[in-house]
């Protein structure tokens, strides 16, 4: 019996060494260790083994079983490794990997989102209006008379039907006041504006503005100053100085231009003009009241402030961009820097 077991072990391990595929291996396993396998058949012979040899034979039986099981496991592992190796055959795994280019938000999108976030925290809601506007929403209702230079056909894109591409987002002030149900109005409106400007390093015929409007029972100039000072310090840093310089806009009175004192790399700090603003002119409330046909915006009862700024300009100042055309050229060498 012991000899038979030894012979079986030698024969089985030799056969195992030649096995190349999974189904042959399974046949092998069934042939030796299965219910009707030859090792199983031999172990049935234990019954006839004399009692004094049972120990030795039992031990040998276990030894053979363990050797075959281990051999099968090794073969399984070797075949899996061979399969892995075959699947990468012809691929040089030492070559450097291919970089996956990561996209990023356009600098204009980023400054717009930041401005919106900051103003929303202060209670301003988003508003919107059409880019193709009526002369009334863009000019008349904003107290801008027919002989105002902004209305010159050399400055504005007019459509054949008399409508125009809005020259500023201030038209959204009028649209919002026309449709709102109750006071206060506290909105911001980012969007495109159009002018017939000669295109150069600081001008495009399409640019981006952010409009703001706050109308209520006692909105004051102090509210305007506080809101915009806070806003620009959020955008440019808490140390930023903000100055309000008297100016003229037809739709605000008094009106101001806002300058911030900024350090451009390598230069002495200087005042940079960044936005227009002012207290809403009562003539605007009158126009809105006429259009609404009610007295929610009675010029004797409501006050408000409005502001408008160029988002392209903000992005240029923040990132030290010297040519506005970079913002629309979609050159990845430029965009990849953000
Ligand atoms: N609409 C003005 C412009 O385009 C900016 C502005 C908005 C000024 C609101 C005052 C109030 O220049």
Cα dist from 205 to 19, 276, 294, 323, whole Å = 77, 19, 38, 14
The tokens 């299965």 sit on which residue? 34
Report CA(74)–ligand 1 centroid distance (Å).
80
* pLDDT of amino acid 119: 98
Q: What angle do CA 254, 118, 225 make, to 5 degrees?
A: 25
- Residue 169 belongs to some domain of the structure: yes
- Residue 28 belongs to some domain of the structure: yes
Residues 168, 300, single domain; the answer is: yes
Residues 243, 321, single domain; the answer is: yes
Residues 113, 13, single domain; the answer is: no
Residues 62, 208, single domain; the answer is: no
- Residue 273 belongs to some domain of the structure: yes
Residues 66, 120, single domain; the answer is: no
Residues 57, 116, single domain; the answer is: no
Beta strands in the chain (DSSP E): 125-126, 132-133, 164-165, 185-194, 206-216, 241-249, 252-262, 270-280, 303-310
**C-beta 168 within 6 A of ligand 1:** yes
- Residue 281 belongs to some domain of the structure: yes
β-bridge partners, 215: 185, 304
Residues 206, 288, single domain; the answer is: yes
* pLDDT of amino acid 47: 83
- Residue 95 belongs to some domain of the structure: no
- My answer on whether omega of the bond before 67 falls inside 30° of 0, hence cis, is no
User: What digits encode the pLDDT tens for the residues 104-128?
Assistant: 899 999 999 999 999 999 999 999 9
Atom of ligand 1 nearest to the CA of 168: 4
Residues 42, 190, single domain; the answer is: no
Residues 311, 223, single domain; the answer is: yes
* pLDDT of amino acid 228: 98
Residues 81, 174, single domain; the answer is: no
**C-beta 208 within 6 A of ligand 1:** no
- Residue 100 belongs to some domain of the structure: no
Residues 66, 183, single domain; the answer is: no
User: What digits encode the pLDDT tens for the residues 272-299?
Assistant: 999 999 999 999 999 999 999 999 999 9
Q: What residues are designated binding site? A: 253
**Strand arrangement, sheet containing 185-194:** 125-126, 185-194, 206-216, 303-310, 270-280, 252-262, 241-249
Ligand 1: which residue has its CA nearest to atom 2? 308
Whether 184 has a pLDDT exceeding 90, the answer reads yes
- Residue 102 belongs to some domain of the structure: no
Atom of ligand 1 nearest to the CA of 309: 5
Ligand 1: which residue has its CA nearest to atom 5? 308
Residues 119, 249, single domain; the answer is: yes
Q: What is the CATH number of the domain that holds 296?
A: 3.30.930.10
Ligand 1: which residue has its CA nearest to atom 12? 276
- Residue 229 belongs to some domain of the structure: yes
- My answer on whether omega of the bond before 184 falls inside 30° of 0, hence cis, is yes
Range of the domain at 235: 107-335
Total number of domains in the chain: 2
Q: Which residue has the higher pLDDT, 332 or 193?
A: 193
Q: Which of 168, 203, 215, 281 to mutate to test the pocket of ligand 1 (most atoms within 8 A of CB)?
A: 168
């Amino acid at each position: 019996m012991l000899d038979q077991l030894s012979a079986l072990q030698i024969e089985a391990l030799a056969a195992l060494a030649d096995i190349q595929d999974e189904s042959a291996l399974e046949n092998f396993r069934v042939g030796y260790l299965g219910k009707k396998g030859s090792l199983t058949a031999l172990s049935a012979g234990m019954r006839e083994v004399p009692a004094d040899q049972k120990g030795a034979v039992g031990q040998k039986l276990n030894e053979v079983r363990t050797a075959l099981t281990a051999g099968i496991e090794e073969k399984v592992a070797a075949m899996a490794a061979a399969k892995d190796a075959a699947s990468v055959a012809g691929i040089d795994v030492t070559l450097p990997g291919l970089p996956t280019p990561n996209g990023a938000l356009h600098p204009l999108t980023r400054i717009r989102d930041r401005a919106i976030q900051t103003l929303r925290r202060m209670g301003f809601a988003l508003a919107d209006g059409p880019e193709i506007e009526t002369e009334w929403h863009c000019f008349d209702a904003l107290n801008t008379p027919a002989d105002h230079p902004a209305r010159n056909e050399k400055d504005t894109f007019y459509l054949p039907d008399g409508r125009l591409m809005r020259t500023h987002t201030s038209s959204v002030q009028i649209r919002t006041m026309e449709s709102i149900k109750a006071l206060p109005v506290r909105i911001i409106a980012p969007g495109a504006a159009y002018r017939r400007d000669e295109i150069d390093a600081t001008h495009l015929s399409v640019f981006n503005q952010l409009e703001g409007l706050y109308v209520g029972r006692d909105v004051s100039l102090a509210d305007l100053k506080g809101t915009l000072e806070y806003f620009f310090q959020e955008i440019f840093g808490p140390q930023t100085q903000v100055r309000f310089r008297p100016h003229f806009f037809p739709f605000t009175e008094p009106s101001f231009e806002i300058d911030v004192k900024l350090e451009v790399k390598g230069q002495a700090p200087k005042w940079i003009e960044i936005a227009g603003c002012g207290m809403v002119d009562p003539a605007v409330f009158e126009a809105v009241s006429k259009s609404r046909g009610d007295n929610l915006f009675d010029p004797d009862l409501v006050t408000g402030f409005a502001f408008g700024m160029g988002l392209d300009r903000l992005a240029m100042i923040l990132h030290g961009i010297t040519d506005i055309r970079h913002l629309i050229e979609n050159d990845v060498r430029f965009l990849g820097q953000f």
